[in-house]
Amino acid sequence: MEILWAPWRMEYILSDKPEGCVFCKCVKTGDHKQSFLLYSSQYCFVVLNRFPYNNGHLMVIPNRHVSEIEDLTSEELSDLIQTIKLCVVVLKKALSPHGFNIGANLGKTAGAGIVDHLHFHIVPRWEGDTNYMPVIGNTKVMPEVLEKTYEKLLPFFKEKEDKSL
């Protein structure tokens, strides 16, 4: 069994969180580059995770501030899944991963760092992308800065704007 280790994330999980919803703030700011916002659809949006498990770690987030998946309308849920599919297509083209972890942590006990606003993670994976550094050295080696990854992914999302998924 392969395990995705991320011991450095505990600092984030246990840290004090800013007032208000970071996801809602992300959309309201006009600076998409600053918030790493890559794509918006009718009912959701895509951001690059600031605390990634791996390069290209994206989050798909409903526009509406809801915490439970069952609170999404059929239209919102359909758009969310179509946007997750788009993320996979974009990541395949831009970064050529060998696989993906896709999921949501529903509730604090399940590991959600932001419990009040539902979001899904898309984590690209490559063969051999785990090594001894996180386990032995408590250090994750990220081969690319977030700004560079953002710039690499943005053209692929721009290409998909105003086109049906």
Question: Catalytic residue positions?
Answer: 119
Query: E strands of 5-142, at which residues?
Result: 37-40, 44-48, 58-62, 99-103, 120-125
CB 32 within 8 A of CB 52: no
Distance, in Å, from the CA atom of 126 to the CA atom of 16, rounded to the nearest integer, reads 32
Distance, in Å, from the CA atom of 67 to the CA atom of 23, rounded to the nearest integer, reads 12
